[in-house]
Structure 1
Amino acid sequence: MTETDAGLARRLATLAGRLLLQLRDNEDTNAKALGDEGDRAANRLILDALRRARPDDAVLSEEEAADPARLAARRIWIIDPLDGTREYGERRDDWAVHVGLAIDGVAAEGAVSLPAMNACFCTAAPPSLLAENRPLRMLISRTRPAPEALAVARALGAELVPMGSAGAKAMAVLRGDADIYLHSGGQYEWDNCAPAAVAIAAGLHASRIDGSPLVYNRADPLLPDLLICHKARAAEILALVAGNA
């Protein structure tokens, strides 16, 4: 039987994660060199496998020069082979592998692997959502907390939860470890395609912070802001963001 797109995404995210763990455990080098090697190795594994499994699909990866021909494609795999390179190099747990598929500009299928946590989340079988925490928990960047996120957290009385990669943050909402991921500090399509696909499949809200939809496979892959939260909370958060604009 032909492998589904979701199954392929999960398999490749898992395989790349295993490779990254092996490299991290066997490589005795500094954080930057380890991160660079991890990016290269995971990217090579995923792209080689995609060329074999989906030769007619376009690909956009953080680690490859973008091919302008992709803009005419309906189906494009959007890859971040190592999201959270700094965290990986520092041998932390909050890094991820993103394998996403956008169809007609929409994040349709994908998987986010959290290798150091022995977890992989996929659009085909997302976990059931848990109730929001009390007090609410707001995810923020470890190094560059977004002003909008801090303002919304104050308004909601939410606890701040610093964390590394975008994928790790998005999956923390899925897991129930946090409730709101609001980012405005700049991202690219590979940072949020797979996380958004998985979040939406699980029944979460995912959009730009002005409420507009996330659109993929654009000429400029910059997709600078993102909100992932429970659907019932989205209108309140979007109104708070607009009020602080």
Structure 2
Amino acid sequence: MIDASPGRVLSDVDLAVRLAEVAGKLLVSVRSAGMFEAGALGAAGDHTANAFLVHALRALRPDDGLLSEEMSCDGSRLGQDRVWIVDPLDGTREYGEGRDDWAVHVGLAVDGVATIGAVALPAVGLTLSSGSSPPLPALRHPPRMVVSRTRPAAEAIAVAERLRGELIPMGSAGAKAIAVVRGEAEIYLHTGGQYEWDNCAPVAVAAAAGLHVSRVDGSPLRYNAHDTYVPDLLICRPEFAEDVLAIVRELAGGRSGS
């Protein structure tokens, strides 16, 4: 159950947390059943978590829009100011491989801004939200950068070289963002393309924690667009934002001039 107290209305952030945690428990149960090979396991987990999240949000926030990676979109969300954007299982590969770096994302965009978010890392029993971010730890130099395990962006590698930083391969986008929130890394730069469900909730959590969040040209991230593709993003400690954006601009200028 989402709420053990009948009649109690959960706040948006509390609802996001509860939904992410329950979906995470479902995913852990599916994986621990030991019934599926890696590929089928990911599909089973996605389907199970998505069915729960979609049903719960339609029941508990019937007037809001909804966008999920695992649900076809009928376009009705585009006319709504409040839209829940969820990824039932971010890091399907890692989930299927028995790793810990996968996540559940439950985000709420209000007027196109990632306003509420909860990111659960069920395999390690951790959930962070836009209402409960820990204080940022002491800054570390040189910075650590979280990057894709399988396709680290060329720009991220170049930025790490310029800042003499350390690259930390990791799976889920949510796991990467939470690593920066928790002080396990300082920079998450991604230029390989994502979708709104990949980063809406992580961006809301990161922004609430006091981190810099933007596109790699410094412009704001916007949500509930007709085209849900998000080409790039930067989540980092504010102290590194100016340098990272400047290096990315320089790299882009070099490519356009070649």
Q: 1:2 Cα shift?
A: 2.1
Give SS of 2:185's match.
coil
Aligned pair count?
245
User: What is the distance in 1 between the residues matched to 2:140 and 2:33?
Assistant: 38
User: What is the distance in 2 between the residues matched to 1:36 and 1:66?
Assistant: 19
**Which one-letter code corresponds to 1:171 in the other structure?**
I
Cα deviation, 1:57-84, whole Å, max 9, x if unaligned, reads 0100000111211111000000000000
Instruction: Determine whether 1:93 maps to 2:100.
Output: yes
TM-score w.r.t. length of structure 2: 0.94
Give SS of 1:244's match.
helix
Backbone CA RMSD of aligned residues: 0.8
Q: 1:27 Cα shift?
A: 2.7
Unpaired runs of 5+ residues, structure 1, are none
Unpaired runs of 5+ residues, structure 2, are 1-7, 253-258
1:149-188 counterparts in 2 under 5 A? 149-188=156-195
Q: 1:218 Cα shift?
A: 0.4
**Which one-letter code corresponds to 2:223 in the other structure?**
Y
Instruction: Determine whether 1:219 maps to 2:223.
Output: no
User: What is the distance in 1 between the residues matched to 2:139 and 2:164?
Assistant: 13
1:127-166 counterparts in 2 under 5 A? 127-166=134-173
User: What is the distance in 1 between the residues matched to 2:138 and 2:82?
Assistant: 34
Match of 1:76 in 2: 83
Cα deviation, 1:103-146, whole Å, max 9, x if unaligned, reads 00000001000001110001111111112223310111000000
Instruction: Determine whether 1:30 maps to 2:37.
Output: yes
TM-score w.r.t. length of structure 1: 0.98
Q: Could you tell me which of 49, 52, 56 is aligned with 1:49?
A: 56
Q: 1:224 Cα shift?
A: 1.7
Q: Percent identity?
A: 60
User: What is the distance in 1 between the residues matched to 2:36 and 2:30?
Assistant: 10
Query: After TM superposition, what 4+ stretches of structure 1 lie above 3 angstroms from structure 2?
Result: none
User: What is the distance in 2 between the residues matched to 1:222 and 1:155?
Assistant: 29
